[in-house]
Amino acid sequence: MGKEPHNGSNLESEDKGLNMLLEEDARLIIPTLEEKKSLLSILDYPNIYTRSFDLVRLNVDSFESVKSRNDFVLIEVKVTSKKLVNFPTGFFFGLTKNEESLLQGLEGTFLLCLISIHPESRKSIYLDHDALTARIKNKRIQYQINL
């Protein structure tokens, strides 16, 4: 039920952040691709959103007990290793269009979790769409293009 955090040096910070959260909250799981698809089906969202969240917080005893949208919360994780004295002020991250769509469309069922893994500012915060919007100082659109 769930998979191990990512492998590879380029994802080391994200792994540390995920592990930090998993240690703090036993209700969190890293869902498999099939589990992600199952959750999206319950929410009536297409499978194109499977890469738009990292964790699931269960509101029931096990994944097998999930029957409705009230049984879980999807969580997208953003990690920084930067020392943030006034966390989360100064946190810089990217958000995909799909992540933003879930954040807006699944109020109460989708959260953004910002994590600082720096030893002197090791903290995390969960934000819904309204809480994130209230904290945004600067927002710009960037297109990433593959040829």
Summarised one tens digit per residue, pLDDT across range 74-110 is 999 999 999 999 999 999 999 999 999 999 999 999 9
Domain count, the chain: 1
Q: Give the pLDDT confidence score for residue 61 in this predicted structure.
A: 96
Examine residue 141 and state whether it is found in any structural domain, yes or no: no
pTM, two decimals, is 0.88
Q: Give the pLDDT confidence score for residue 4 in this predicted structure.
A: 44
Q: Give the pLDDT confidence score for residue 11 in this predicted structure.
A: 74
| Residues 31, 2 contacting (CB under 8 angstroms) | yes
Determine the average pLDDT of the residues in 104-127: 95
What distances in angstroms separate CA 16 from CA 71, 74, 78, 90, 145, one per listed residue? 26, 19, 11, 20, 29
Instruction: Work out the pLDDT band at 142, boundaries 50, 70, 90.
Output: confident
Q: Which domain holds residue 85?
A: 9-135
pLDDT in tens, 13-65: 889 999 999 999 999 999 999 999 999 999 999 999 999 999 999 999 999 99
Using the structure block, give the residue that is written with the tokens 């991250």.
93
What distances in angstroms separate CA 58 from CA 12, 46, 73, 116, 132, one per listed residue? 25, 21, 7, 23, 22
The 55-58 sheet, strands edge to edge: 28-29, 55-58, 72-80, 110-116, 123-127
Q: Give the pLDDT confidence score for residue 144 in this predicted structure.
A: 83
Examine residue 143 and state whether it is found in any structural domain, yes or no: no
Examine residue 26 and state whether it is found in any structural domain, yes or no: yes
Examine residue 144 and state whether it is found in any structural domain, yes or no: no
Q: Give the pLDDT confidence score for residue 46 in this predicted structure.
A: 97
Query: Among residues 51, 50, 57, which one has the least CA distance to residue 29?
Result: 57
